[in-house]
Structures are given as structure tokens and as C-alpha cells.
Amino acid sequence: MTVQASPVIDLVLLQKIANTIRFLSADGVQKAKSGHPGLPMGCAEIATVLLTKFLRLDPADPKWSNRDRFILSAGHGSMLLYSMLSLAGYIPAEELQKFRQLHSMTPGHPEVDDVPGVDMTAGPLAAGFSSAVGMALAERIMAEMYNTPKYEVTEHYTYVLMGDGCHMEGLSQEAASFAGHNKLGKLIAIYDDNEISIEGSTNLAFTENVNARYEALNWHVQDIDGHDMAAIENAITEAKKETKRPSLIVAHTIIGKGAPHKQGTSHAHGEPLGEEEVLAAKQAMNWPEEKFYIPAEVKAFFEQKKAEWAENRAVWDKMLAEYDSKHRKIAKEFMRVTSGQLPLQWKNATPDFPAGESMSTRVAGGKAMNAFGAVLPELIGGSADLEPSTKTCIKTGDYPDYIAPGMFLGRNLHFGVREHAMGGIVNGMALHGGIIPFGATFMVFHDYMRAPVRLSALMKQRSLWVYTHDSIFVGEDGPTHQPVEHLAAMRCIPRLNVWRPCDANETAYAWQHALARTDGPTAFALSRQNLPVLDRTHYAPAKDTLKGGYIIEYDPEGKAEIILIASGSEVHLAIEVANILREAGRIVRIVSMPCIEVFKEQAEGYRRKIIPKRFKKRVVIEAGVIQGWEGILGDSGIFIGLDDFGVSGPYQELARHFGLVADSIIDKLASADF
């Protein structure tokens, strides 16, 4: 694709643009009386060079699939990004005066979707960097899948601005290691090396050689003056020439540059400069005292720049039309996946497992993934070095199994033992678009990746989290590997659907629901041990799984005395308990509750039909802690689960040790006068 050249711009105008960004940011923080002025003022030259000379955008279509991505990993410096977006035409200039105010387009940290032009919700340090790795990976995968020699419909760069804190966080090491190993040459990270943190000099806690670390991780590293715009431009140009390694540009900057008394100090980091200091900075740099001032020549330049961006987008649109005419089948697929839509009749791929078999839900999950993967080439992901245990290798499709360093045509990734980075990379792939990504590990290691799972929910991304070994029934590995509180920890994350299916067919429908969902992430909690595949001629249809909770075995004429509610493997235990109670003449209803969140989304009439208010004798059975079940359990119900960690031993012995066997439950019900 031929790209229209940028308008000629002299150094004087470049510096005016930089100072415009610098003081728009300082004014925004000062008006809000809250925020971080130091990074925006120190990175104004970096932002200027990126915006005027490198970033390929379309302000008229913020979600254009072939735009360059720019992620502010140091999200506290958000006024830098908002100033850039305002000049580029994404957000009105008056929004800069509403920084950190309720319902403004300029919240305290960048928020994807809520702010046009923001590519990721950033704030937790290094999270943006790890997701930028995922975006760069997705770009390469999409290029391999859909580009042809003449038509490069996916061909863009991922830029990320990092701070000192991003490098201090261990997450950056994981993500940088993955990126260097996989030769993500179109990832360009710029490090705002201002040597200041909130507590003072970074030397208080951070004295490592960052350059040497990244070189050891197979990165292309350059060292520059972050205020020298010619040096910034040359460094980015050199980074773009490096195709086999990601690039780190270490830009030495002065935090709060221009503020005569606070620049270079921690006082410029996380608090407004003060009216007098902002005024003094403007005077020192010969800038008008007017607040939120934008010079006429800067406005004129960006009008011309917007025309350039529009022309380049028109060139791409023309290429896409030709691509569609020459390669109709692949073009149709490309446009489908980039729109986030699923193909017609895709649900027909939902597998049906015959009754009488016995398999773990992790095995069933792998089979369901492969069934859907056969019709969804965009389903791509991997595990944290645990695929033989998580059963998450997609073995169908038109591509080789595994993506390898510099070779991006495949369905499966080796994330290595990097759970935290895996989470960020999966989010980046989802944010990029065109891919439905998944990441898999043992459920107990959700602890390592809670932050990216939370971000996936906050950003409403279709990130799929596959957790296996879902309870103390992991067995011999003991309490370090036995999740107890993890279901509760996941269920308390807003917008995250947590599925714990009871058999293979519930697992298949859980996957169907997750793939269809476009407004948030899904977590699967899957068993290590085998579970019977229920006979659906006797039990309720497996399709009822899609409602989150359903009566899996009806009580005669709806006259039950006791209702047993369970998830996952404990549904089979509930069935066993119910049979004993029925032999004693009791009338029992059994409810399978594979997903509390989806059940709560159902109409109240449906929920009351499944668990009527009149049912006082409710029993919830789950091999975990009680948190999350309170609303369903009611005031007088009984929870049968755990209130402490597990122990090492064969899972059958653990079941008896913790009272998760039928006769123990019968005794508990009797003692509670149930």
C-alpha cells in the first residue's frame, strides 16, 4: 500500500506542537486540581514526533483495523494522550477542560471505547506494555492469515510508551521475554526514562541496566535524548527497519520539563504544578498565558494532517475493494473476523457427547474447542506451558498447529510459564480485533493473572480464560495446587462470566455461550477428574445450560421439600444425595448452576421458577468457599463446601475427609432438621 507522505513541517512548528501538548496537559491537570503533569510535559516531544510523522490513523473511524496502535502503558500520564487525540480530531478541545470530571471524555486514566482513539484501558503499570505485545502478535498473525503478495490488508505498527514503573513491574520482564523470543519486529516501545518516581529518584529502588536487560531478551535497543526531535525521529525510523526484533527506545527526559522549580523532581509527578508554577513555565518558554491555548498554525497543520490520514485511508479502502474482487473467499473471511462477527450456522459445530461416557470437563473442553475451532479460524491461543494438562491445543483448521518465533501462521501459542504476561497478551489480541484469544492454566494460578482478567472485564473484551484442575479434587499435588477460594475470587469480578460445567455437554454449551458473547470475558473452571456424561433423555436438555442455572432433574409435580443446587463435579454428588433422600420418601429438586452470573441475567420469572422464594430448605454443594452463593442460598439454607485449604492425597479420600460424600451430606441435613 502506497502511503501519502506527511506534510512538510519545520522545527519551529514542531516545537510549537510540542509546547501545545505540554501546556494543554499542564492546564488540564491544573484545572482538575488532580493528575500527573510530569510525564506529559516530559514526553511532549516524543508525542509530537509520533503524531506528526509516524502514526497512521483515521479519526473518522477510530476502530479502523489497519491503524497503528499507540498504547500509553504509563496511563497516569493520560493528559498527554488526550492532548494528542484532541489535536488529531478524535475528541473536542473543550473536553480537555473536563479532565477527571464525571462523564467526560477525559477520565483519569485512558479508557478504551469510552474515549475515541484510546486503544487500551491503561493504568496498572506494565499492563499496557504486555497488551501491546499481544497487539503486535495479533498484527503478525492476521498478516500471515490474510495478506497476499499484492494486498497487505494488515500492515501496521504497535507503539507503546512506558515509564520507569513499567520496567520495575515483573510483568514487563515476562512480556518482553515473550516478545523477544517471538521476534515481534513491528513492536516499538519508547521508554520515558526520567529517573523519577513518586517517592523520589528511581535510584532509591531501581538501579539496573535496562538497556542490557532488553538486549539480553533479544530486543533492538537505542539510547537517545528524549527532547531532541531529530533523534526521536531517527530512532523510530531505525526501529522500523529492524524486522526480526522488537525495539526499545530509551528516551532520557526531564519530568515536568519547562516547570522552572519542579521539573526533574517528584513534585512534578503526581500532583498539579500550581497556578504560579504553570504560569512561570509558560513565561520561561515564551508561551501565551491563555489557558488551553492552541496556536492557529498548529490547528492548520492538523487540518492538513487529517486530510493526509483520510487520503491514506482511502488508498487502503481501494486496495481492500480490489482484494475483495481478486480473493473473494479470503476477503470475506477477513472482513468478517475484523468486524467481530461469527459465521452463519457456527452453532451447529457444538459437539454432542453420548451418555454413558466418562471424561473430565477439561478433556471435553478441548474437544469443544476443536469442534468450534474447525469453523472459527480466529480462535487462537495457548497455555502457560501446560497444554498436555489443560487440553487446549487446537488440532483442526487450515494452518500448522504452533506459532513459532518469526513464523506466525498457526492456531496455538507457547506462552511459557508466564501467566501474568499471558493474560496481558490475550487482552492485547482481543483488543486488536480479528482474533478470539484464549489463555489456559491451572485454576490455582489465576492468582498470577487476576489483574489482566480484571482488565478484560473492565474493557468488555472477548478474552477467554481456560482454567483446569478446578478444586481440591486435583488430589495428590496438595493445597498449593488445589483452588479453594478461586471461584469466589473470579465471581466477584464484575462482567466476568465464570462457568463450572458438570459434564461434557454442559462444557460444550458453556463454550458456545462464551464465543457468542461480545460484551465481556469468560472463565472456565474445568475438572481434572473424569465425570459421567449425563443421559439427557432422563435429565434436562444440555441446551438449558445457556441459562446459567436450570432444573436438571424435576421433582414430581413441583412439590419438592428440598432443593439441591450444585456446580461442576458436585452436581453428580447432588444427584447421589437426592436418590438417597428419595428412597427415604423425600421429594427433591436438583438444580445445576454452571454459571451464577448468566443465571442472574435471566428474567426474574425464570429465576423464581427454578428457585422459588418458598423454598426455605436450600442446599448448595460446591468444593470451594461459600462466597458468591449467599444470594442464591438464602437466609436459612445450608452450604456444603470448604472453609479452609485442602490437603494432599487421592481425590476420593479427600472427598470423604472434607465431607463431600453422600452419606456425610445426609447426616448434615438430618442434624439441621432438613
Model pLDDT, residue 132: 98
Question: Per-residue pLDDT for 6 more than 70?
Answer: no
What's the whole-number mean pLDDT along residues 296-309?
A: 98
* Secondary structure (DSSP) of 252-313: E--TTTT-TTTTTSGGGTSS---HHHHHHHHHHTT--SSTT---HHHHHHHHHHHHHHHHHH
E-only strand ranges, 408-537: 412-414, 436-442, 464-468, 497-499, 522-526, 531-532
Of 341, 364, 387, 340, whose CA–CA distance to 545 is shortest? Answer: 364
% of the chain with per-residue pLDDT over 90: 95
Of 188, 138, 185, whose CA–CA distance to 162 is shortest? Answer: 188
Of 493, 442, 490, whose CA–CA distance to 466 is shortest? Answer: 442
Does residue 199 have an active-site annotation?
no
What's the whole-number mean pLDDT along residues 361-371?
A: 98
Model pLDDT, residue 578: 97
* Contact call for residues 119 and 112 (beta carbons, < 8 A): yes
User: Which residue is associated with the grid cell 426474574?
Assistant: 604
Model pLDDT, residue 616: 83
Quote the mean pLDDT of the chain: 96
Question: Per-residue pLDDT for 203 more than 60?
Answer: yes
Model pLDDT, residue 9: 82
Would you report the helix, strand and coil content of the chain in percent, each value rounded to 5?
45, 15, 40
Within 10 angstroms of residue 292's Cβ, the number of other Cβ atoms is 16
Model pLDDT, residue 554: 80
Look at residue 619 and give its three-state secondary structure. Answer: strand
Q: What is the pLDDT of residues 404-440, one digit of tens each?
A: 999 999 999 999 999 999 999 999 999 999 999 999 9
Model pLDDT, residue 359: 98
Model pLDDT, residue 620: 98
Give dist(CA 521, CA 454) in Å, integer: 9
Confidence of residue 5 (pLDDT cuts 50, 70, 90): low
DSSP 468: E
% of the chain with per-residue pLDDT over 70: 98
* Contact call for residues 410 and 164 (beta carbons, < 8 A): no
What's the whole-number mean pLDDT along residues 437-448?
A: 98
Model pLDDT, residue 434: 98
Residues contacting residue 341 through CB under 8 Å, at least 6 positions apart: none
Residues contacting residue 572 through CB under 8 Å, at least 6 positions apart: 502, 531, 532
Of 564, 563, 484, whose CA–CA distance to 525 is shortest? Answer: 484
What's the whole-number mean pLDDT along residues 198-212?
A: 96
Confidence of residue 7 (pLDDT cuts 50, 70, 90): low
Q: What is the pTM (predicted TM-score) of this model?
A: 0.97
What's the whole-number mean pLDDT along residues 503-509?
A: 98
Angle at 584 between CA 583 and CA 588, to 5 degrees: 75
Sheet holding 187-193, edge to edge: 69-72, 158-162, 187-193, 247-252, 220-225
SS3 of 135-179: the string is: HHHHHHHHHHHHCCCCCCCCCCCEEEEECHHHHHCHHHHHHHHHH
* Contact call for residues 603 and 586 (beta carbons, < 8 A): no
Query: 169, 419, 506, 597: which one is catalytic?
Result: 419
Q: What is the pLDDT of residues 312-336, one digit of tens each?
A: 999 999 999 999 999 999 999 999 9
Q: What is the pLDDT of residues 371-413, one digit of tens each?
A: 999 999 999 999 999 999 999 999 976 666 899 999 999 999 9
| Residue 586 burial class via C-beta count within 10 angstroms: exposed 0-12, middle 13-18, buried 19 and up | middle
User: Which residue is associated with the grid cell 469510552?
Assistant: 114
Rounded to the nearest 10°, the torsion over CA 117, 119, 123, 127 is -170
Give whole-number Cα distances, 351 to 367, 399, 544, 651, in Å: 8, 22, 15, 29
Q: What is the pLDDT of residues 269-283, one digit of tens each?
A: 999 999 999 999 999
For the chain, domains (ranges, CATH) are 11-311 (3.40.50.970), 346-532 (3.40.50.970), 549-671 (3.40.50.920)
Question: Per-residue pLDDT for 666 more than 90?
Answer: yes
Question: Per-residue pLDDT for 81 more than 70?
Answer: yes
Question: Per-residue pLDDT for 151 more than 70?
Answer: yes
What's the whole-number mean pLDDT along residues 35-58?
A: 98
